[in-house]
A and B are shown apart, each in its own frame.
Chain A
Amino acid sequence: MEYKKELIRNFSIIAHIDHGKSTLADRILELTETIEKREMKDQILDSMDLERERGITIKLNAVTIRYNSLNGNSYIFNLIDTPGHVDFTYEVSRSLAACEGAVLVIDATQGIEAQTLANLYLAVDNDLTIIPVINKIDLPSARIDFCREEISERIGIDGDSAIPVSAKTGENIREILERIVSDVPAPSGDNNNPLKALIFDSFYDSYRGVVVLIRIKDGCVHVGDEIKLMRTGVSFKVTELGIRTPKEVSKKALYCGEVGYLCAQIKDIKDVDVGDTITIVNNEAKEALPGYRKINPMVYCGIYPTDSRKYEELKEALEKLCLSDSSLRFEPETSQALGFGFRCGFLGLLHMDVIQERLEREYGLDLILTAPSVIYKIFMTDGSLIELDNPSKMPDLTLINHIEEPYVTASIMTPEEYIGPIMQLCQDKRGIYIDQQYFDQTRRVIVYEIPLNEIIYNFFDKLKSYTKGYASLDYEISEYKQSNLAKMDILLNGDVIDALSSIVYKPDAYKKGLKLVSKLKEVIPRQQFEVPVQAAINGKVIARCDIKAVRKDVLAKCYGGDISRKRKLLEKQKEGKKRMKMVGSVELPQEAFMSILSVDDDND
């Protein structure tokens, strides 16, 4: 493909989860014959099995497409995919920064959702041209006119310009492509300027090292060039350049406006930060591209092998995952209860889930995860500051001056009738009311500041159940605020189980303690002996329950065919036991460690 900057169009697709982004991408690839139908797996951009299963995109990806427009010109389209979850807002913003335009997909049956809006604002922040598309018009419940109105009212774009399409049947897909040609501007910049290449994604390849996905914002880059990553200052020699169609096609150079990949024998993915700028040593850009942000894990938890002999395997698995996931952090930690394991940091809960599933599925590990925790700032009486990511490590109360916890600004979009319950929920979760706006005639956006800790403790599930699934949530970290917090310990058989410690809001401690011990009683199976479960704050017991001893556990009838069936039943039980962790003399199931997350459910 020859290079003509004015014939390049770089764009993303923005959509709420399930609104059909991946299907639309598939249709575009088909229509442009980028991929032949028969070699096409459904939703080609979501390459991880896990993504395909969950219908979400976790890793970003980009594909270069040739499009022969009805105007007679042959264009180069770079479609840059974006992950569709609040955990990855920053990555989305960097992907969008690599584009000039965005196709905004709205589900004709659902209308605009909070998350779509959040991503749309990111696109507008990046000065992107927006092409609104109303998808799923093949469904009988499609409300095209309603969506048009919403687009005019909420986004401020002429709703009549929205293209009604069906990604499922392929209807009107070409019109989107033509609109990209006519409306999305060609890239700016100049090949003669010093190189500025935006990193919007990276992954690890065991042969080539880190493969960096870049958008050339200014200048150009050749194989053999000595490049420099402007944030870290480290330099590398470019060994390979190319584009993905989606098959990799290597090239001698990448020019201004192009999107492609770069390899430079980079060993450590941590050197390659999304949002960083690549330039050329000896002809350096004066300043890096704007918008870079160091991303830090927001949620931490302990990960332990159920079988302590699997520690090394877990370590290797985490190391491998880290090669391709620059936002995953881990360091060894020891728990008295769980033995040797790792404290891991994640961007959010979904990220945590995904890592857990990959460890279990791809590496065949049985794991115990402790309840997730945010990072608390502990201000000590001696003036020092501790950043605490593990509740069990909380220092002695007498040494603490005060504690701060992170808050988020949460925007909840909801049909009017659920406002009452949602406000109640936010109050229960220690939310601070900020604002309320009309979104349209029937929906409102409620804005609260809520401790992140409360968000990760089943806030989203509750929101969904309070609103029959109609409300949607978007949040971003706001700031640290002082809170009245204390560490709550759990004792089994009189011993503190460090892995079950949590940090709670003091005024709720009694209620929470009581609920937690009864929840533990519910999830921990009867043991050989009676086991007292206690919750304590500062060494003072505030709640207690007893797990009963096993009294009877024998199948009454066992003859003939029952014997095979019986053996299978026992085998199943044994499999279940494998997922339990012996802590002292007590067998704890994985749910026990997560109980703190669901103690509020008893309210329902």
Chain B
Amino acid sequence: MKRKKKINSLYIHIPFCSNICPYCDFVKLIKNDLFIDQYLKELKKDLHNIKNGYKKFKSIYIGGGTPSILNCKDLEIILRILFKLKKINCEFTIECNPEDINIEKLKLLKKYGINRISIGIQSFNEKILREIKRDYQIDYFKLIKLVKKYIKNINVDLIYGFNGQTLNDLENDLKKFTKLNINHLSIYSLIVDKNSIFFNQGYKEQNEDDSRIFYDYIVDFLRKNGFKRYEVSNFAKKKKYSRHNLNYWKNGQYLAIGIGASGYVDNFRYRIAPSFNEYIKGKRIIEKEILTKDLMKEYFFITNLRLEDGFKIKEFNKIFKTNFLIDYKDIVSELLKEDLVMIKSGYFSCTDKGIAVLDRILLKFM
């Protein structure tokens, strides 16, 4: 029998949603039972292929879309296979919308080894929730208490930078979050992407100056509450970092299945075309980007410099068989002078000031 390949992480994309969030630019479809059946059938095929070709995974992530809108029967179809694909200590995450969570589902998730849940709360502010078409009222204390009975490792997603949102509103959201006693937060500034409803409505992104003020406030607030900003938009307490996402940010390889999903294997990055019709016909249209050494370096910087700890210089030298500090001497000394980066205990990383303008730093390395 052929030897199985080793890749640490696996991503599964569930593109269905019960309604479309106006800021979302991911590949998504409005929920439809027939479509779900057809899609899961194809997904199952891909999972079987992976099972035959790859060793078990250290992290598995079911994202969307909204994976939690699948009913228990549908969820079980893929969980049953995934269960066999996970290593014993696998970090196994699923994304959920708050209104989809119930005891029955939680029991099912636990049964198949899901040990991390990412809840898309986005905001606790009713006005903002209405703006993003989330017309529900949920007692988050009760909800989190319930979730914790089954799954202890929880992440919450929040968004900031809505029109009319004040610093006070932001503070309230952060306070409510900390009261829930959760160890991980992903908090993103609202981006009005071309593929989103907001874009078509002419919704304006928060201006650069305010966005910086909000961001600094968030970092400061969460640090005071014992969180580490380990990545640009990710904060964790008690080292509850997301293993799956850390793999992305450390430029690690990962498999991905489902429409619009992207992976990185060997010397290429790929994306499965976001065409539902082709996918359910059994066609996998794969857009490939072959990685040259220069591209590999670019990806190394793009990913690793998002981390507060940056990267170990020795590791860079080892991977690329070179000397980072010599190759990038001029850039590094300029950035050091401007206090945008630092070198500490063999690590190269951005300062707080640097992370806020990371993209400008990255351009220098490209």
Which of B212, B306, B355, B366 interacts with A574 by CB under 8 Å?
Answer: B366
B248 interface contact, C-beta 8 A: yes
Complex formed: what's the CA distance from A548 to B210 in Å? 13
Closest to A526 in B: B208
Q: Does B336 contact A (CB under 8 A)?
A: no
With both beta carbons as reference points, the residue of chain A lying nearest to B340 in the complex is identified as: A528
- In A539-573, the 8 Å CB interface with B consists of 548, 550-564, 566-567, 570-571, 573
Is A577 in contact with chain B by the CB < 8 A criterion?
yes
The answer to whether A553 touches B261 (Cβ under 8 A) is no
Contact of A551 among B189, B299, B356, B358 (CB under 8 A): B356
Task: Report the bound CA distance from A327 to B343 in whole Å.
Answer: 58
Chain B residue numbers with a CB within 8 Å of A571 are 366
Q: Contacts A554-B359, A570-B366 given; indicate if A561 touches B262 (C-beta within 8 A).
A: yes
A564 to B233 alpha-carbon distance, docked (Å)? 18
Asked if B211 is an interface residue, CB under 8 A from chain A, the answer is yes
Interface string of B201-244 (1 = CB under 8 A from A): 00000001101100100000000000000001100000000000
For residue A555, which residues in chain B have a CB less than 8 angstroms away from its CB? Answer: 191, 232, 359
Find the residue from A556, A567, A577 having the highest chain B CB count within 10 A: A556
Which of chain B's residues have a CB closer than 8 A to the CB of A553? Answer: 208, 356-360
Complex A-B: 22 CB contacts under 8 Å: A550-B360, A551-B212, A552-B357, A554-B232, A554-B357, A555-B359, A556-B191, A557-B188, A557-B191, A558-B232, A558-B249, A558-B302, A560-B248, A560-B254, A560-B256, A561-B260, A562-B262, A563-B262, A563-B269, A570-B359, A571-B366, A574-B363
Instruction: Write the nearest CB–CB distance from B253 to chain A, whole angstroms.
Output: 12
Instruction: Check if B261 sits within 8 Å of A567, measured CB to CB.
Output: no
In the bound complex, residues from chain A placing their C-beta under 8 Å from that of B232 are 554-556, 558
Determine if B11 and A560 form an interchain contact, defined as CB atoms under 8 angstroms apart. Answer: yes
A560 to B271, CA, bound (A): 10
| Interface set, chain B 260-280, CB cutoff 8 A to A | 260-262, 264, 269, 271
From A548, A561, A567, name the one whose CB has the most chain B CB atoms within 10 angstroms. Answer: A561
CA distance A577 to B362 in the complex (A): 13
| A561 pairs with B271, CB closer than 8 A | yes
Given A553-B357, A554-B359, verify A560-B208 contact (CB < 8 Å). Answer: no
A563 touches B299 (CB 8 A): yes
CA A387 – CA B191 in complex, angstroms?
Answer: 54
Query: Please, which residues of chain A bring their CB within 8 A of the CB of B139?
Result: none
Task: Flag if B357 contacts A550 (CB, 8 Å).
Answer: yes
* Neighbouring A residues of B338 by C-beta, 8 Å: 528
Q: Which positions 282-336 of chain A face chain B at CB distance < 8 Å?
A: none
Most buried by B among A551, A553, A554: A554
Known: A561-B262, A571-B366. A548 touches B209 (CB 8 A): yes
The docked-state distance in angstroms from the alpha carbon of A557 to that of B233 is 7
Q: Which residue of B lies closest to A569 (CB)?
A: B359
Q: How far is the CA of A577 from the CA of B262 in the complex (A)?
A: 28
| Closest chain A residue, CB of each to CB of B357 | A553
In Å, the complex CA distance between A555 and B209 comes to 15
Q: B262–A567 contact, CB under 8 A? A: no
Q: Smallest CB–CB gap between B286 and chain A, Å? A: 12
Question: Is A552 within 8 A of B271, CB to CB?
Answer: no
Asked if B245 CB lies within 8 Å of chain A CBs, one says: yes
Closest 10 interchain pairs by CB?
Answer: A561-B262, A551-B212, A554-B358, A556-B188, A552-B212, A556-B189, A553-B357, A553-B359, A559-B248, A552-B211
Verify B261–A573 contact, CB threshold 8 A.
Answer: no
Number of A residues whose C-beta is below 8 Å from B?
25
Provide the residues of chain B in CB contact with A559, threshold 8 Å: 245, 248-249
Give me 4 other A-B pairs in contact (C-beta within 8 A), A554-B359, A566-B302 excluded.
Answer: A548-B208, A551-B208, A561-B260, A574-B366
The answer to whether A570 touches B363, judged by C-beta atoms less than 8 angstroms apart, is yes
The distance from the CB of B210 to the nearest CB of chain A, in whole angstroms, is 9
**A563 — which chain B residues lie within 8 A by C-beta?**
248, 262, 264, 269, 299, 302-303
User: Within the complex, what minimum Cβ distance (angstroms) separates A296 from chain B?
Assistant: 45
Is B131 interfacial (CB 8 A cutoff)? no
Could you tell me the distance between the alpha carbons of A67 and B21 in the complex, rounded to whole angstroms? Answer: 71
CB-CB contacts below 8 Å: A260-283 with B: none
Contact of B271 among A548, A564, A567, A573 (CB under 8 A): A564
Select which of B11, B245, B303, B355 is within 8 A of A554 by beta carbon: B355
Give the docked Cα–Cα distance between A571 and B365 (Å).
11
Cα distance, A84 to B233, chains bound together (Å): 58
Residues A238-267 near B (CB distance < 8 A): none
B40-65 vs A: 1/0 string, CB under 8 Å?
Answer: 00000000000000000000000100
Query: In the complex, what residues of A have CB within 8 A of residue B264's CB?
Result: 563
Complex Cα–Cα for A596 and B303 (A):
42
CA distance A140 to B248 in the complex (A): 62
Which residues 328-356 in B have Cβ within 8 Å of A in the complex? 338, 355-356
Complex Cα–Cα for A559 and B188 (A)? 12
Nearest to B160 among chain A residues (CB) is A556
B298 within 8 Å of A by Cβ? yes
Contacts of B171 in A (CB 8 A): none
Distance, CA A563 to CA B250, complexed state (A): 12
CB-based contact B366/A551 at 8 Å: no
- Closest residue of chain A to B232 (Cβ to Cβ) is A554
A574–chain B nearest beta-carbon distance, Å: 5
A548's nearest neighbour on chain B, judged by CB, is B209
Nearest chain-B residue to A558 (Cβ)? B306
Q: Closest CB of chain B to A587's CB: distance in Å?
A: 11
Report yes or no: B356 in contact with A567, Cβ–Cβ below 8 A: no
Would A570 and B209 count as touching, CB distance under 8 A? no
Residue of A nearest to B287 (CB): A564
Instruction: State whether B357 touches A561 (Cβ < 8 A).
Output: no
Q: In the docked arrangement, what's the CA distance between A560 and B248, Å?
A: 7
Complexed CA–CA distance, A558 and B362 (Å): 14
Chain A nearest CB: distance from B191 CB in Å?
6
Q: Is B37 on the interface with A (CB-CB < 8 A)?
A: no
- Does B126 reach chain A (CB closer than 8 Å)? no
Q: A528 to chain B: which residues have CB within 8 Å?
A: 338, 360
Whether the pair A560, B262 counts as a contact (CB closer than 8 A) is: yes
Residues of chain B within 8 A (CB-CB) of A548 are: 208-209
Contact mask for chain B residues 282-303; partner A; CB cutoff 8 A; 1 contact, 0 none: 0000000100000100110011
> From B354, which residue of chain A is reached at the shortest CB distance?
A554
A573–B363 contact, CB under 8 A? Answer: yes
Q: Complex Cα distance A551/B355, Å?
A: 11
- How near does chain A come to B206, taking the closest CB pair, in angstroms? 9
Per-residue CB contact flags for chain B residues 160-172 toward chain A (1 = under 8 Å, else 0) read 0000000000000
For A556, list chain B residues within 8 Å (CB).
188-189, 191, 232-233
Beta-carbon contact of B208 and A552 below 8 Å:
yes
B313 to chain A, nearest CB (A): 22
A8 to chain B: closest CB distance in Å? Answer: 62
**How near does chain A come to B304, taking the closest CB pair, in angstroms?**
11
Residues of the A chain whose Cβ atoms lie less than 8 Å from the Cβ of B245: 559
CA gap between A560 and B208 in the complex, in Å = 25
What's the minimum C-beta distance from B244 to chain A, rounded to whole angstroms?
Answer: 9
Closest-by-CB residue of B relative to A551 is B212
Query: Please, how many angstroms separate the alpha-carbon atoms of A557 and B264 in the complex?
Result: 18
Q: Which residues of A contact B211 (CB under 8 A)?
A: 551-552
How distant is A175 from chain B, measured CB to nearest CB, in Å? 55
**Alpha-carbon distance A561/B63, docked complex (angstroms):** 12
C-alpha gap A573/B256 in the complex (Å): 28
Cα of A556 to Cα of B159 in the assembled complex, Å: 10
Q: How far is the CA of A577 from the CA of B363 in the complex (A)?
A: 9
Alpha-carbon distance A555/B188, docked complex (angstroms): 9
Q: Looking across the interface, which residue of chain B has its beta carbon closest to that of A557? A: B188
Please give the distance in Å from A323's CB to the nearest CB on chain B.
39
CA of A202 to CA of B302 in the docked complex: distance in angstroms? 55
The complex places the Cα of A7 from the Cα of B256 at a distance, in Å, of: 79
B103 vs chain A, min Cβ distance (A): 30
Most buried by A among B232, B249, B264, B360: B360
